Amino acid sequence: MRFLLENFEAYKKEGLEAYAREDYGRARFALLKASEFLYKLADKSDGLIRESRIKNADKLLALSRKIEHAHPGEIGESASEGEDGDGDSKFAASESPGISFDDIAGLDDVKEEIYARVIYPLKFPEKAKKYGMIPGGGMLLFGPPGTGKTMIARAIAHEVNAPFYTVKPSEIMSKWVGEAEKNISKLFGEARKNKLSVVFIDEIESLVPKRSGSNSSVMQRVVPQILAELEGFDTPKKNPILFIGATNEPWLLDPAVLRPGRFDELIYVDLPDLAARKKLLELNLDEKPLDEDIKIDELAETLTGYSGADIKNICLNTAQEAFMDSVRENIDRKICQADISKIIGKTRRSVTDKQIKKFEKYLIQQ
């Protein structure tokens, strides 16, 4: 909550200050960001506070639209996060990302499921046709933060050698206000121009939240449009799309998005197991000056409950401390077991037991 509130206040201040100095492009972008964080705050609130936050978020969106219509020629590409000066939104794909499943530690069950239901039908279309497996479709990756959901999406695009469209929530808010439905269609239209495309949207719950829990007129229009685009993913298409959404809060999603023909695959990405933690340590300590007393197995045991992002950060902080010692003392010193253990002792787990239990409860209900 504090993170959302701080970002809302910072962007609101930035937007109003930019408007005062007539930097209309920056003002519009900052106000849109402020409204995005305020909508998220509203979703986590109740009663009059919730109603007030939704009302104020709608006002910020209205102000940003007023700026766009009043000063269309003064909103440049850099300030509006990739929009043309004429207000037309463009969605560009990156090349197939250079991340494979070999770069992702553990998650063997997740990889196996993705291979069986997604990658193999695309790599072996004739066999897939014979067995009635249809390429493309919708997939939802959900689980605690820092478990590698974005890396998995990139690896999938690499494995099938497809253009990768990745859209951030902030970019969606800045592009889809006003002509939301048109721009959603344009995103999927651009993706369908390719023989095969992967479209990835993180924090998907901010685009398709439970409509019963949102009074935003924007969301009431956007959600049905996205659902309409997802319809028919389970039918043969000349140019299939693999649409991947990721979320840390699947319980906030509109139930309609989980129906057959939309997100057909719901894949839980859990915290790394022992084997995965060992590989994460090896990957993140690779080519660093390590002492012979390093015991990867013992460290991996100690890191039970830590996410992949936590482990990466621990290795980075350990190397940084050793580097600073070598600079201050003008020596070449190796990283030892005690160095890593010290950093582990100072690092709190980013995912709590309470959060894990919430995911376990959600899994039982599916």
- The full set of domain ranges for the chain reads 2-74, 101-268, 274-350
pLDDT of 280 reads 92
pLDDT of 322 reads 92
For domain 2-74, give the fold: Methane Monooxygenase Hydroxylase; Chain G, domain 1 (1.20.58)
pLDDT of 84 reads 43
CATH of domain 101-268: 3.40.50.300
Pick the CATH number of 274-350 from 1.10.8.60, 3.20.20.140, 3.40.718.10, 3.30.1860.10: 1.10.8.60
Contact call for residues 209 and 223 (beta carbons, < 8 A): yes
- Please list the ranges in the chain whose pLDDT falls under 70: 1-3, 68-98, 135, 169-183, 211-222, 225, 231-238
pLDDT single digits (tens) 280-294: 999 899 989 999 999
pLDDT of 76 reads 45
pLDDT of 294 reads 94
pLDDT of 82 reads 40
CB-facing half-sphere around the CA of 21: CA atoms within 13 A: 9
pLDDT single digits (tens) 193-223: 888 888 888 888 877 777 665 555 555 666 7
pLDDT of 86 reads 39
Phi and psi at residue 306, in whole multiples of 5°?
-90, 145
Bridge-partner residues for 138, per DSSP? Answer: 243, 263
pLDDT of 56 reads 84
Phi and psi at residue 290, in whole multiples of 5°?
-105, 140
Dihedral sign from CA coordinates of 358, 360, 363, 365: negative
pLDDT of 83 reads 44
Phi and psi at residue 164, in whole multiples of 5°?
-115, 110
